[in-house]
Amino acid sequence: MPHAPIIARTLSSLHRARTELGKRNATVGLVPTMGALHDGHVSLVRLAKRRAKKVVVSIFVNPTQFAAHEDLGSYPRTWKEDIAKLAAEGVDLVWNPDAKTMYPEGFATRVAPEGPALAGLEDRFRPHFFGGVATVVAKLFTQVRPDMAFFGEKDFQQLKVVTRMARDLDLGVRIVGGAIIRERDGLAMASRNVYLSPEERRIAPVLFRTLKMTSKRLQAGDDFKIALADGVTAIKEAGFAEVDYLEARHAETLAPISTMDDGPVRLLVAAKLGTTRLIDNVKG
């Protein structure tokens, strides 16, 4: 049986535990999360266990990546279940700072990512988001000093932003992406899926089905504009309130593209089902 992970809530206890983990040159992998852990998070933990000798998971619901109208107060928190899952996976250390530890009185420095953070996807609808993510991830990296950090492709633009930042700021952390883990009906796992009513939950897999259908059409040579417009119609007709975007982008640069030859292609979508905003993406 694996041991329960060490839980650190202050910087001094984190540093003590980190020093212990790094003995005998053991490599350290970090999986940053906001808790409410599901199989998507667990798959990143398993990937980290395969790649690194020691695994640290951070659980921090980061206030600076939520806008005032967003769900910071009601974001699901399932601490006991989270720790049980991490213990079962043999995680070594959980870093669980509170907001005051992360952002002490007078905190006045932010990372302002550009490039993929200004691609016109999530940033168009959540302009506060990547600044908040980049700042907290940079802090997590300097706090935990991992050799590698693991991020899900579920948040595809975020993965690009963090990869760029680690390179640009010479953070010395190798960023590794993990595949999207889905429910049996195709819905991408997400902590926010618990907000969906039973009726919305039934509709939600339309997002993935539409991505797959659109991808097939693009591969068959259909016109990008028409296939994407049809996809938006299908999502709305299924009962989604709003489609923020359904776009074909270059899988590396996130630049807009309009033919398969401009690829590799990634199809990305964000849409609101009732008041819950869902995102997903697939290979084009």
Binding mask 150-169 for ligand AMP (x = CB under 6 A): -xx-xx--------------
Q: Is 235 helix (H, G, I), strand (E, B) or coil?
A: helix
- Chain positions 40 to 99 lying near ligand AMP, rule: CB under 6 A, are 40-41, 43-44
Answer yes or no: 41 catalytic: yes
Contact 228, 246 (CB under 8 A): yes
Q: How many residues bind ligand AMP (CB under 6 A)?
A: 17
Within the chain, what is the greatest distance between any pair of CA atoms? 58
- Chain positions 92 to 131 lying near ligand AMP, rule: CB under 6 A, are none
Among 8, 134, 161, 180, indicate the residue that binds ligand AMP (CB under 6 A): 180
Contact 101, 129 (CB under 8 A): no
Cα 18 from Cα 5, distance rounded (Å): 12
Residue 41 or 85: the one with the smaller Cβ distance to ligand AMP is 41
Q: Where are the alpha helices (DSSP H) in 24-78?
A: 39-51
**Does 191 engage in binding with ligand AMP (CB under 6 A)?**
yes
Cα 215 from Cα 228, distance rounded (Å): 9
Give how far the C-alpha of residue 266 lies from the chain's centroid of Cα atoms, to the nearest Å.
16
Binding mask 27-46 for ligand AMP (x = CB under 6 A): ------xx-----xx-xx--
Name the site residues for ligand AMP (rule: CB under 6 A). 33-34, 40-41, 43-44, 151-152, 154-155, 178, 180-181, 188-191
